[in-house]
Structure 1
Amino acid sequence: MTRNSRRLATFTGVGYDKGRGTLVCAAWALVVEPLQRSVLCPPSVRTHILRAFGASLGTGALIRHGVRIHWPWKLTVGEDSWIGVGAWLLNLEPIDIGSDVCISQEAMLCTGSHRADDPAFEFDNAPIRIADGAWIALRATVLRGVTVGEGAVVGATALVTRDVPAGRRVLAPAATETRPV
């Protein structure tokens, strides 16, 4: 594909299903989602709101303020899991978070992508699974199609594009350049 071969006007979104009708999607995006993100919305109310819109949340699941959830009906969170302030769950496809999982502040789980070789840039989405006891640390990013295994740790600012086996740690690349102070 050459630099000028992309034709975004031909994008159709073929194969992507929002999972709910236009009115429900609009109500979520325009009214309810900003309300549930507010620091003024108590976590218990946030949990009720998310469940009312189809999220499956286990007992003791804690969703802090500022968490962006694209479609709650495509979210499953196990028991006693935490999702930290400012995390972004861009779940065009399902995100399944196990029990006793910590998704730290400003982490991103992104199920969406595009086919880079397709001139129309059609979707190339896939679900994400975070197994029991895993930790996705501060500002880490987990991309579409990834499974993070049981008890695995994705370190602060790490970018994960492949499955992480159970018990493994993925760390962000260390700084390679030093400069005098």
Structure 2
Amino acid sequence: MDRHLRGFTGAGYDKGRPLLVQAAWFAVLNLVFVKWWFPTRWRPVVLRAFGARIGRRVLIRQRVRVHWPWRLDIGDDVWIGEGAWLLNLEQITIGSNVCVSQDALLCTGSHQRHSSTFEFDNGPIRLEPGSWVAARAVVLRGVTVGRSGVVGASAVAHHDVGPGAVVTTGAPA
């Protein structure tokens, strides 16, 4: 199939906030939030100010990127490691006692591969309590990682991961 990206419309996608709020978030994200010198304890406060629901005792390290804070729900006692990217064009829900390790990617966005204009094909991500997305792992749109499930280092989860299941690079979900 030939692609005609000039025809892309993004039809039906709502960013969830006015352009001014989006611009303000991108300024705060890139000028302050991701920086090593920005105090860890203030990151949840800033995310809440932009509409995220963040539980207690959440640790968010430097270089963590969040696309839209208003599409983020994090439970209690969650760790998000350095360089993690929460590309949440749609909702990302992270249960309590979850670890998202260094440089992991949670990507709710995709495209319709059979669309000549490559229109969006997005879906939410849910990490159930006690799950772990290990270093440089990827969780793709529409995936739920079940309670105590693990997406191992550098693995890609493109289907749901059952409760207690472990996905590694040798056995992708």
For residues 2-32 of structure 1, the C-alpha deviation after alignment (integer angstroms, 9 at most, x for no partner) is xxx2111110001111110000001111x20
TM alignment of 1:21-170, pairs within 5 A? 21-29=18-26, 31-34=27-30, 35-170=32-167
The amino acid across from 2:95 in the alignment is G
For residues 18-69 of structure 1, the C-alpha deviation after alignment (integer angstroms, 9 at most, x for no partner) is 110000001111x201211111111111111111001110001111110010
Structure possessing the higher radius of gyration over alpha carbons: 1
Normalising by structure 1, report the TM-score.
0.92
For residues 83-142 of structure 1, the C-alpha deviation after alignment (integer angstroms, 9 at most, x for no partner) is 000000000000000000000000000000000110010000000000000000000000
Percentage identity across aligned positions?
56
* Aligned residues: CA RMSD: 0.9
For residues 127-180 of structure 1, the C-alpha deviation after alignment (integer angstroms, 9 at most, x for no partner) is 000000000000000000000000001100001100000000001129xxxxxx
The amino acid across from 2:91 in the alignment is P
Task: Report the number of matched residues.
Answer: 170
The amino acid across from 1:90 in the alignment is L
2:2 is equivalent to residue 9 of structure 1:
no
Question: Which structure 2 segments of 5+ residues have no match?
Answer: none
Secondary structure of 2:9 counterpart: coil
Tell me which stretches of 4 or more aligned residues in structure 1 moved more than 3 Å: none
